């Protein structure tokens, strides 16, 4: 006699350790297989866009730190580029290079977080995560030298960065760049070709390229599906047009490829930082702008960067006042989440956790 | 061969097994922060402060409260205003350092500590008396003049108000003397009425200003 079975709906989250924040998934299971997925978010909504409308242009920089709190520098960069477009100014060269260095270091830190937690979700119980955090810790120490804070940096300002790097920053950065390849190869040796990781992630939750493009997915998730699309190449900002780097692309769009693309990008980021250190020259780091900025009324700007998770953009509209009339944030994590259903349906519960880890979302950015 | 990569991975583990730990046991061992570290508690030099409330205006959260009144005793020394209240509501402070960036007279500095946990909300408040009495170990954040001297708040002695300015003290005194109110209550009347801090009377209408 067959056993009577029926689908069961399970809530995963919002307080679930592997959803990377307060993210909730309402999943209908048939046994272990996923039949239906409904992502529910909004638990971390802080009204950043509205708050930006009542702060002046420089004060908003502190809000952008808290969007994707593992890549604050890049958020700062996107916002500052938008304000500079509004004001039609361009930061001095040294400022641009410092921004690029800061953003690329932050990308390494953010990717290490993504990789570490992805492997943690696979069940590696901490070891690779700690290796990732060891490297990330050094980057955070560098940020402390640069700007006095480790996570909520607020280092960039419209028109450059707030201060030049201290003298002891450059030797420390040199040491870090010397140590980095060894640490990364250690991590690669540990996990990149591990058979268990391969079996668990290869061919799981594939995202075809046309699907990725149609859902306007960006960042490593898109590049893992086979399109070499990177805003640093497509529309260079700051100092990216003066450095050489490759855009790693994978073909299958499965969990392993997303992980692999991030691993390769670590090397490219380090390459960019090295070139910036060679090219940077003494000079001013910040334009002499007033403390309270007043762009011309009616102007609008769209500042766009390649953040660690994809395309991050700020749309600003000025009415001539001291704060933006409208500030719209296009956050990569939210858009990348739109393919969740496609990625998860048909796979097992254990793969769901891994897939979420490989998409690498950050709820601070999804809910804003 | 199947399993080879796992052996390779295990080699890394073995190599790390014999390595010195990267972490420190926090309460016993401590790492020192960089001199630029933005921390608690704020270092404020009353002698340098004119009560302009630039910091209060520029604070994204509006947690700095400044009340000034016309000074009667100190006019000869160049003090136009007497500061009555300079409160920082630390529970909402995010240590962005914009107040320090806005201070034109180098009167406000970030501090260098980070272990100021309190048991009650009342404790999360820095009053003017605390600011006056606290030891002055200013952070070099946004203060290139301190950075160029190689000052380290974690090691060096507390700094006096005459040592921290980006201009000489004479320049600063003249600046303070020259601060005249364009309009406002006559000082001779000696009214106890509170003066608007100079910064807040402009028409910006930004948040954060208080008095």
Cβ–Cβ under 8 Å, residues A355 and A343: yes
A204: left (phi over 0), alpha (psi -120 to 50) or beta: beta
pLDDT value for A110: 92
pLDDT the model gives residue B62 = 86
pLDDT score, position B205: 36
Residues of A in contact with B109 (CB under 8 A): none
The helix-helix angle for A169-191 and A93-119 (nearest 10°) equals 30
Return d(Cα A78, Cα B168) in angstroms, integer. 39
Q: How confident is the model at residue B120 (pLDDT cuts 50, 70, 90)?
A: confident
Q: What is the DSSP string of B100-160?
A: HHH-TTS-EEEESB-----SSGGGS-B-HHHHHHS------TT-HHHHHTT--TTTSPPPP
Regions of chain A with pLDDT less than 50: none
Cβ contact B34–A186 (<8 Å): no
The more confidently predicted of residues A51 and B144 is: A51
A190/B12 touch (CB, cutoff 8 Å), yes or no = yes
Please give the angle made by the CA atoms of A364, A342 and A188, to the nearest 5 degrees: 65
> Which residues, in sequence order, are CB contacts of B181 under 8 Å at separation 6+?
B80, B195, B198
B55-112 pLDDT, tens digit each: 888 888 888 888 887 766 555 555 567 778 888 888 888 888 888 888 888 888 888 8
- The ranges assigned to domains in chain B are 37-179
A114: three-class secondary structure by DSSP: helix
Is the preceding omega at residue A19 within 30 degrees of 0, hence cis? no
Q: For residues B125 and A34, what is the distance between their CA atoms, to the nearest angstrom? A: 51
Average pLDDT over residues B161-182: 58
Residue A107 has a pLDDT of 92
* Residue where the block lists tokens 């259903």: A341
Distance CA B165, CA B168 (A): 7
- Is the pLDDT at B191 greater than 60? The verdict is no
User: How many whole angstroms separate alpha carbon A166 and alpha carbon B36?
Assistant: 9
Residue B89's alpha-carbon distances to A117, B107, B113, B123, in angstroms, are: 36, 18, 17, 10
Given a cut of 50, whether residue B209 has pLDDT beyond it is no
- Chain centroid to Cα A120, Å, comes to 18
Q: How far apart are CA A333 and CA A110, in angstroms?
A: 13
0.90 exceeded by pTM: no
- Report, as an integer, the average pLDDT of B104-129: 82
Domain residue ranges in chain A: 47-336
Residues in A whose CB is inside 8 Å of some CB of B read: 54-56, 58-59, 62-63, 127, 131, 134, 137, 141, 144-149, 152, 154, 162-163, 166, 168, 186, 189-191, 193-196, 291-292, 322-323
B101 and A162: CB-CB below 8 Å?
Answer: yes
**How far is residue A171's CA from residue A368's CA, in Å, rounded to a whole number?**
37
Among A146, A148, A157, A164, pick the best mutation site for testing chain B contact (most B Cβ within 10 A). Answer: A148
User: What whole-number distance in Å separates Cα of residue B108 and Cα of residue B99?
Assistant: 8
**Three-state DSSP state, A160:** strand
Q: In angstroms, how far is CA A286 from the centroid of its own chain?
A: 25
Residue B194 has pLDDT above 60, yes or no: no
Which class is domain A47-336? mainly alpha
Lowest mean per-residue pLDDT among A143-152, A296-305, B118-127, B190-199: B190-199
Please report the pLDDT score of residue B208 as a whole number: 38
Q: Do B147 and A195 touch (CB under 8 A)?
A: no
**ipTM reported for the complex, 2 dp:** 0.78
pLDDT at A21: 78
Fold held by B37-179? Alpha-Beta Plaits (3.30.70)
The residues near B78 (Cβ < 8 Å, ≥ 6 apart) are B173, B176, B177
In chain A, the largest separation of any two C-alpha atoms, in whole Å, equals 82
State residue B45's pLDDT score: 83
Given a contact cutoff of 8 angstroms between Cβ atoms, the answer to whether A227 and A209 are in contact is yes
Average pLDDT for residues B129-142, to the nearest whole number? 83
pLDDT of residue B79: 59
Q: pLDDT band for B173, please (50, 70, 90 cuts).
A: low
Predicted local distance difference test score (pLDDT) of residue B170: 59
């Amino acid at each position: 006699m067959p056993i009577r079975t029926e689908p069961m709906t399970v809530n995963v989250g919002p307080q679930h350790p592997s959803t990377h924040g307060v993210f909730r998934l309402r999943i209908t299971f048939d046994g272990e297989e996923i039949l239906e997925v409904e992502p529910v978010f909004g638990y971390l909504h802080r009204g950043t866009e509205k708050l930006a409308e009542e702060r002046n242009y420089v004060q908003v920089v502190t809000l952008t730190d808290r969007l994707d709190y593992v890549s604050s520098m890049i958020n700062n960069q996107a916002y500052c580029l938008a304000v500079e477009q509004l004001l039609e100014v361009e930061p001095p060269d040294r400022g641009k290079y410092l921004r690029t260095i800061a953003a690329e270091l932050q990308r390494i830190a953010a990717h290490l977080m993504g990789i570490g937690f992805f492997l943690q979700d696979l069940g590696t119980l901490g070891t690779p995560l700690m290796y990732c955090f060891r490297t990330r810790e050094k980057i955070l120490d560098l940020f402390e030298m640069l700007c006095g804070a480790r996570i909520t940096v607020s280092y960039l300002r419209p028109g450059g960065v707030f201060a030049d790097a201290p003298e002891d920053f450059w030797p420390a950065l040199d040491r870090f760049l010397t140590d980095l390849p060894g640490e990364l190869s250690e991590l690669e040796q540990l996990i990149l070709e591990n058979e268990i990781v391969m079996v668990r992630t290869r061919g799981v939750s594939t995202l075809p390229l046309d699907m990725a493009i149609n859902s306007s997915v960006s960042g490593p998730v898109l590049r893992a599906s086979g399109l070499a699309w990177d805003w640093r190449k497509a529309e260079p900002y700051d100092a990216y047009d003066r450095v050489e780097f490759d855009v790693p692309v994978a073909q299958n769009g499965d969990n392993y490829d997303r992980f692999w693309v991030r691993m390769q990008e670590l090397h490219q980021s380090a390459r960019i930082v090295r070139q910036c250190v060679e090219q940077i020259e003494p000079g001013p780091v910040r334009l002499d702008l007033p403390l309270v900025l007043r762009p011309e009324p009616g102007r609008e700007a769209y500042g766009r960067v390649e953040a660690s998770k994809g395309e991050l953009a700020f749309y600003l509209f000025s009415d001539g006042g001291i704060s933006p009339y409208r500030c719209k944030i296009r956050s990569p994590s939210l858009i990348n989440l739109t393919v969740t259903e496609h990625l998860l349906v048909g796979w097992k519960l254990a793969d769901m956790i891994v897939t979420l880890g490989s998409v690498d979302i950050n709820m601070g950015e999804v809910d804003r | 061969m199947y399993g080879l990569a796992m052996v390779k991975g295990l080699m890394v583990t073995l190599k790390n097994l014999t390595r010195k730990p990267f972490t420190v046991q926090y309460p016993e061992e401590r790492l020192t922060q960089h001199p630029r570290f933005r921390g608690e508690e704020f270092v404020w030099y009353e002698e340098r402060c004119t009560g302009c409330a630039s910091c209060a205006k520029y604070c994204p959260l509006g947690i700095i409260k400044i009340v000034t009144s016309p000074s009667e005793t100190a006019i000869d020394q160049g003090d136009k205003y007497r500061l009555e209240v300079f409160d920082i509501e630390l529970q909402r402070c995010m240590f962005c350092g914009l107040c320090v960036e806005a201070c034109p007279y180098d009167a406000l500095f970030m501090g260098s500590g980070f272990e100021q946990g309190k048991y009650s909300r009342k404790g999360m408040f820095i009053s003017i008396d605390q600011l006056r009495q606290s030891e002055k170990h200013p952070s070099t954040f946004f203060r290139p003049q301190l950075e160029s001297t190689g000052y380290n708040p974690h090691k060096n002695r507390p700094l006096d108000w005459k040592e921290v300015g980006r201009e000489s003290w004479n320049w600063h005194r003249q600046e303070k003397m020259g601060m005249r109110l364009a309009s406002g209550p006559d000082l001779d009347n000696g009214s106890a009425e509170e003066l608007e801090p100079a910064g807040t009377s402009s028409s910006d209408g930004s948040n954060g200003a208080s008095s």
